[in-house]
Amino acid sequence: MIVVPIIMTYNEKENIGPMIEAWLKIAKENPKYKFEIVDCDGNSTDGTCEITNAYSKQHKNVHLLKSPKRVGMGRDLINAYKYAIEKLHADVIIPIDVDFQFDPFLAPKLLAKIDEGYDVVVASRHVKGGSTNFNWFRKITHFISDTLLAYYWAGIKEVKDHAGLFKAIRVKGVLDQVDLEKMDVIGFSVNMRTIYELSKVTKKFYEVPAQFGERRAGQPTTVGLKSMKWFIKYVFETIFQTTKIRLERSQRFIKFGLVGFVGYLVNASTLFLFASLLGFSEWLSWGLSTELAIISNFTWNNLWTFKTQKITGGSNLFKKFLQFNGTSAGALLIQTVAGTLGTRFFGAGSRQILLPFIILFLVLPYNYTMYNLVIWRKGKK
């Protein structure tokens, strides 16, 4: 198994040497994996790259990927993902900061979880045993970006720690399914966005507790007037990225609502056609028109609402369609029972008022949940 640690650097001449040494040691202690170590550099000017170059002359598994100009750590990281997949044929990718705030020697624990079958294993500061060393300012900014924006606003609930770089990501069937070309993120929200993109592909996330310590040497890259520009850019980008994800998620719900409305129109018009125009019997008209609405819902939801998890292939499609009819029968049951009980309770005059309420508050949430959990379940075709 080829493991590619991606070490992020920008003017880190004090840290890069010890970090490469650490990975060479990890490689030696874990010979069951083949390590290809990458320094992903954001165009350092302090001699960081010269140090990496010296190592790569000695060790052919040390590589330098230097950005021709400063474009932001997010873009650098996305390029490094592509490089690791295409050039180094990575099976697992492990991005990490160079400053030792995360302990690289946690890597074998992350890899053990990958071996167990998890696809994304995050070094997490927010599970039992994990910790941070933040001052009050970092605590507040971290709480806003990680808890308020990523967890609640964007709704990325697969993990509790979205902001850290350090994680092990499986490539085959997981990261290689993410459209990296489309992922244009400049700053540190690349971490949260990566988790989100991966959550569309897999459900197998795991968080290993990590203690976040002090920077070993050098200055944080976000300090100084020149860096301030990037920091502000990164903050605005976090708000923009999380909002984009929120909209993308609600978009699915809006599409689902529209498809449901089209289904209702199909239902009503074909009921009119069969019963009033063609004079079919009552039960045949209801049965046929309901089934046509179910077919319409299934088709449009598959092609449009849930297109990222599109069901294909004849027999699979048929199986899922039967399952879809099954869940529709559940909706029918809910509507009939609630409608009958409601009408009994409130009187016959309330029937037409009850119907939209039942649809809105019982049937829609039921259908939406069933579609997400059963029919178009993520990571399962």
Ligand X SMILES: Nc1nc2c(ncn2[C@@H]2O[C@H](COP(=O)(O)OP(=O)(O)OP(=O)(O)O)[C@@H](O)[C@H]2O)c(=O)[nH]1
| The two structure tokens encoding residue 260 | 């449901």
* Residue 196 binds which entry of Mg ion, ligand X, none, CB below 5-8 Å type-dependent: none
Q: Looking at 4-12, 103-111, 321-329, 370-378, which segment touches ligand X (CB under 6 A)? A: 4-12
Beta carbon of residue 196, minimum distance to ligand X (angstroms, whole number): 20
Residues numbered 310 to 369 that lie near ligand X (CB under 6 A) are: none
Choice between 101 and 305, CB closer to Mg ion: 101
C-beta of 97 vs 161, nearer to Mg ion: 97
Other beta carbons within 10 Å of 209: 16
| Residues 217-256 close enough to bind ligand X by CB under 6 A | 220-222
d(C-alpha 192, C-alpha 84), whole Å: 20
Q: What is d(CA 207, CA 349) in angstroms, rounded to the nearest whole number?
A: 54
Indicate which of Mg ion, ligand X, none lies near residue 12 (CB less than 5 to 8 Å, by partner kind): ligand X
For residue 329, count CB atoms less than 10 angstroms from its CB and return exposed for 0-12, middle for 13-18, buried for 19 or more: exposed
Contacts of residue 368, Cβ cutoff 8 Å, sequence gap at least 6: 253, 256
Sign of CA dihedral 152, 153, 158, 164: negative
Query: Left, alpha or beta for 231 (phi > 0: left; psi -120 to 50: alpha)?
Result: alpha
3 state SS of 310: coil
Count of residues near ligand X by CB under 6 A: 19
Q: Other C-beta atoms within 10 Å of 97: how many?
A: 21
Residue ranges that bind Mg ion, judged by CB under 5 A: 97, 99, 101
Q: Based on CB atoms, which residue is closest to ligand X, 166 or 371?
A: 166
83/306 with CB nearer ligand X: 83
Neighbours of 18 (CB within 10 A): 13
Which of the ranges 2-10, 238-246, 323-331, 363-371 carries the binding residues for ligand X, by CB under 6 A? 2-10
For position 158 contacting ligand X by CB under 6 A, the verdict is no
Distance, in Å, from the CA atom of 335 to the CA atom of 342, rounded to the nearest integer, reads 10
Interaction of residue 78 with ligand X, rule CB under 6 A: no
Q: Which of 3, 9, 20, 171 binds ligand X (CB under 6 A)?
A: 9
Q: Select 235 or 239, whichever has its Cβ closest to ligand X.
A: 235
Q: Which is nearer to ligand X, 73 or 84 (CB)?
A: 73
Give yes or no for residue 146 binding ligand X (CB under 6 A): no
The residue with tokens 């900014």 is 141
For ligand X, the binding residues (CB under 6 A) are 8-10, 12, 40-42, 70, 72-73, 76, 97-99, 101, 215, 220-222
